[in-house]
Structure 1
Amino acid sequence: MNDTMPFTASPNAALHAAIKVNIVVIGAGQAGLSSAYHLMKLGLQPGRNFIVLDKNDKPGGAWQHRWPSLTLSTVNRLHDLPGMEFAEVVPVGETEARASTAVPSYYAAYEEKFRLPIYRPVAVKVVCERFGRLRVETDRETFSAEGLINATGTWETPSIPAYPGADRFEGQQLHSRDYQTADAFAGKHVIVVGGGISALQHLDEISQVTTTTWVTRREPQFHEGPFTQEDGRAAVAAVEERVRNGLVPGSVVSVTGIPWTPALRAAAKRGALKRLPIFSEILPHGVRWPDGTEQKAEVILWATGFRSSLDHLAPLQLRADDGGIVLGGRLATRVEKDPRIHLVGYGPSASTIGANRAGGAAARELAAHLGLI
Structure 2
Amino acid sequence: MTQYADVVVVGGGQAGLAAGYHLRRQRLDFVVLDAQPAPGGAWQHAWDSLRLFSPAAYSSLPGRLMPAQPGEPYPDAGHVVEYLADYEKRYELPIQHGARVHAVRRDGPRLRIESDAGDWRARAVISTTGTWSRPFLPAVPGAAAFRGRQLHTTRYRSPNDFAGQHVLVVGGGNSGAQIAADLAAHDDIELTWATRRPPRYLADDIDGRVLFDVATARRRALDQGDTDTGGVASLGDIVAVPPVRRARDRGLLPARRMFSRLTEQGPQWSDGSRAPADTIIWCTGFRPALAHLAPLGVRGPRGHITTEGTRSMAEPRLHLLGYGDWTGPASATLIGVGRPARDAAHQIADELHR
Common topology (TM > 0.5): yes
Structure 1 position 30 matched with structure 2 position 17: no
Report the aligned-residue RMSD.
2.6
CA distance in 2, matches of 1:338, 1:352: 27
Q: Counterparts of 2:103 and 2:235 in 1: how far apart (Å)?
A: 35
Cα drift, residue 364 of structure 1: 0.7
Q: For structure 2, which runs of at least 5 residues remain unmatched after alignment?
A: 224-229, 326-330
Q: 1:66 touches 1:99 (CA, 8 Å); kept in 2?
A: no
**8 Å CA contact 1:133, 1:145 repeated in 2:** yes
Per the alignment, in what secondary structure is the counterpart of residue 213 of structure 2?
helix
CA distance in 2, matches of 1:239, 1:283: 44
Structure 1 residues 351 and 172 mapped into 2: Cα distance closer, same or farther (>3 Å)?
same
Segments of structure 1 that go 5 or more residues without pairing to the other structure are 1-14, 244-250
1:42 aligned onto 2:42: no
Q: How much does 1:338 deviate?
A: 1.6
Show the 5 A alignment for 1:175-190. 175-190=152-167
Distance 1:333 1:303 in 2: 28
1:234-283 Cα distance to aligned partner (Å, 9 max, x none): 3355579999xxxxxxx986454223344323322443322222111111
TM, length-normalised to structure 1: 0.83
Q: CA deviation at 1:368?
A: 1.3
**What is the CA distance between 1:120 and its match in structure 2?**
1.5
SS of structure 2 residue aligned to 1:259: coil
Distance across 1 between alignment mates of 2:109 and 2:100: 23
CA distance in 2, matches of 1:324, 1:337: 12
Report the 3-state secondary structure (helix = DSSP H, G, I; strand = E; otherwise coil) of the residue aligned with 2:175: helix
Q: Displacement, 1:26?
A: 0.8
Distance 1:181 1:189 in 2: 15
One-letter amino acid of the counterpart of residue 223, structure 1: L
Q: TM-score, structure 2 length as denominator?
A: 0.88
**Closer/same/farther in 2, CA of residues 240 and 27 from structure 1, 3 Å limit:** farther
Q: Which residue of 2 aligns with 1:111?
A: 88
Q: 5 Å matches for 1:349-360? A: 349-360=331-342
What is the aligned counterpart of 2:297 among 309, 317, 332? 317
Change in Cα spacing, 1:221 to 1:323, as seen in structure 2 (3 Å) is same
Cα distance change on mapping 1:314 and 1:103 into 2, 3 Å: same
Greater shift, 341-350 or 220-229, is seen at 220-229
Q: 1:304 to 1:169 in 2, by over 3 A?
A: same
Structure 2: distance between partners of 1:174 and 1:56: 21
The change in CA–CA distance for 1:65 and 1:333 in structure 2 (over 3 A counts) is same
Distance 2:287 2:315 in 1: 21
- Structure 1 residues 238 and 98: CA distance shift in structure 2, 3 A: closer
Q: Partners in 1 of 2:148 and 2:353 — Cα distance?
A: 57
Aligned residues: 338
SS of residue matched to 1:191: strand
Whether the 8 Å CA contact 1:68–1:98 is kept in 2: the answer is no
Matched, 1:264 2:244: yes
Distance 1:52 1:240, change over 3 A: farther
Amino acid aligned to 2:9: V
In structure 2, what is the equivalent of residue 224 of structure 1? 203
Q: Does the alignment pair 1:306 with 2:286?
A: yes
1:367 maps to 349
